[in-house]
Structure 1
Amino acid sequence: MEFRGVMGGLYKISEWIMRLSVINLLWMLCSIPVFFFGFMGLVSPSPDGLKAMLPIIAVLTPFTLFPATSAMFAVARKWVTGEEDVPLLKTFFRGYKENYKQSMVGGIFFVIIFVIISVNYFFYLKQGSSLKLLAVLFIAFTVIIIISLFNFFSIMVHLHMKIFQILKNSILISIGNPINSIVLLLCNGAILYICVTKFNFFLVVFFMGSIMATFSFWQFNRSFTKLQIKQQELEEKELQKLEEAEAEDEANPDDAVEDETENRNSSVSLHKNDEKNRE
């Protein structure tokens, strides 16, 4: 039975609420170790409680959070590309299984990069005023890596590439398309801020991850589609030029024969000159 009007709109809204909340819950369940130690660090009475948990979280993230996030992006890809009625559980765990290895390797790479950036940032922050400027540079690196992280998941679930190509293209897209990168960062930052500060527990548990994944893939797919259209237009122009050149050759066959004869004569004369020089 299909609802129309106000009832149809309410039904659509409730359906999307259900989809987003189910995927977000699955994402959190598959990432329980990371969220558990993160929560323990936040509620710890010690001021350095979260810092003490960071090494454990860094080790667990590539093996739990990254595969779960790739599965969530796989479902978001289905939604954005028009397959809204896909089975949620089956699609999520299929994406988890198919992308586990690549997401794990990518997770190790990004964790190492974040560790290197953090160590250098705090090191230069404690130095003199001239070296403190380098700390700002590492903040810029962090922004690029965060944007690349969203593009990494979108590329992995959308295109069949090797892990090195996915990592390279995620960074290149982030740097080469600054406007979309800024929009992606600001919108996801706004979603994160609202979920954490305004309705902290409810939105984080039921909607934060799935909304960010859906928006991130929508933004990526929009940019990727534009790039494909431009590439197709360039290919069509090149094909049109080739067709026009072939049509001109067919329309003027005598000129083509004369040009070919001149080329042959010139090559023969050069050959004779070479023989004379040898003699």
Structure 2
Amino acid sequence: MGILKIPEWIIKFTYVNLLWYCFTVVGLFFFGFFPATMALFAIIRKWIMGETDIPTFRTFWHYYKKDFVKSNVVGFMLTISSAMLYLDYVLLEQARGLIFNSLFALLLPIIFMFIFTICYSFSVFVHYNFRPVKVIHQAFLVMIVSPLSTLMMIAGMVILYFSLRGFPGLVVLFGPSLLALLVMYSSYLSFENILNRKQKDSVEVGSAQDHHS
């Protein structure tokens, strides 16, 4: 039964990928990229949660329109932060010898954490109802407390890269949607683990209070 669904899922991923391209262009690329990406993540999140029969176009358009301004605000903040990090790297390149090596060693983990904060930002945006600044802040915290999910994300990206690097046509057809699936699935596991820990802690606190009373 699962094998019979493979063609259906190929069509689903191809279609949502096409929507991502089209709506990115509709938003004049820069203003369309973040709303289209958030809509892509929103659909994949629903698929992961078992809502596989949603109307793809209508759902995509709903999230694209609803979150157009908010997603662009988040995108603007991430873009400005990326530009600042890149500027720091360019300035570091002007240095030589031990100074460059020492400062670059400090900058490298910051760049690494920032890249994965961006990845988690898309997932946090569609999973929670946070203000733009809180989205990025929460994404950073999730990345810090979820090393296994981050490692899963890294491993998946490496596998995806080596699987598709010889097939540029497949990258165009499936690249964005498969990458979004990888990031959203890893993030969703992290969200569930965080929720379970919170529920467990609340139960333990409640039991302790009952015992004390």
Determine if the TM-score, normalized by the shorter chain, exceeds 0.5: yes
Q: Show CA shifts across 1:135-180 (max 9, x none).
A: 3433322221221112111111111111111111111222332332
Gaps of 5+ in 2: none
Number of residue pairs aligned between Structure 1 and Structure 2: 212
Aligned position for 1:93 = 61
State the Cα deviation string for residues 51-94 of structure 1 (Å, max 9, x = none): xxxxxxxx953x12111100000000100111011111011111
- Residues 149 and 189, structure 2, Cα contact 8 Å, conserved in 1: no
Specify the alignment match of 1:21 in structure 2. Answer: 14
CA–CA separation in structure 2 for the residues paired with 1:85 and 1:146: 32
Q: Residue 113 of structure 1: which of 72, 81, 84 is its match?
A: 81
Aligned to 1:78: 46
What SS does the aligned partner of 2:187 have?
Answer: helix
Match of 1:178 among 128, 147, 151: 147
Question: What is the CA deviation profile of residues 106-152 of structure 1, one whole-angstrom value per residue up to 9, with x for unaligned ones?
Answer: 11111111111112112212311122122343332222122111211
Q: Distance in 1 between matches of 2:26 and 2:79?
A: 16
Pairing of 1:142-157 with structure 2 (within 5 A): 142-157=111-126
Question: Partner of 2:99 in structure 1?
Answer: 131
Q: After superposition, what is the alpha-carbon deviation per residue over 1:204-255, rounded to whole angstroms, capped at 9, x for unaligned?
A: 2211111111121111111111111111111112222222333xxxxxxxxx
Point out where structure 1 has 5 or more consecutive residues left out of the alignment: 1-7, 35-58, 247-279
Rounded Cα–Cα distance in structure 1 between residues aligned with 2:155 and 2:111: 14
After TM superposition, the structure 1 = structure 2 runs for residues 1-279 of structure 1, keeping only pairs within 5 Å, are 8-32=1-25, 60-61=29-30, 63-133=31-101, 134-195=103-164, 197-200=165-168, 202-246=169-213
Partner of 2:130: helix, strand, or coil? coil
Contact 2:48 2:185 survives alignment (8 Å) = yes
| TM-score (ref. length: structure 1) | 0.70
The equivalent of 1:271 in structure 2 is none
Q: Shift of residue 33 of structure 1?
A: 8.0
Amino acid at match of 1:198: G
Q: Aligned partners of 1:60, 1:108: CA distance in 2, in Å?
A: 13
Task: Using the TM superposition, name which of 160-169 and 8-17 deviates more.
Answer: 8-17
State the match for 1:51 in structure 2.
Answer: none
Measure the CA separation in 1 of the matches of 2:144 and 2:206: 31
**1:73–1:157: 8 Å Cα contact kept in structure 2?**
yes
With over 3 angstroms needed to count, the CA separation of the structure-2 counterparts of 1:136 and 1:245, relative to structure 1, is closer
Give percent identity, aligned residues only: 25
Could you tell me the TM-score, scaled by structure 2's length? 0.91
Contact 1:147 1:185 in 2 (8 A): no
Largest Rg, 1 or 2 = 1
- 1:31 Cα deviation (Å)? 2.1
- Residue 170 to residue 17, structure 1, CA distance change in 2 (3 Å): same
| Aligned Cα root-mean-square deviation (Å) | 2.0
Q: Distance in 2 between the 1:33 and 1:189 partners?
A: 31
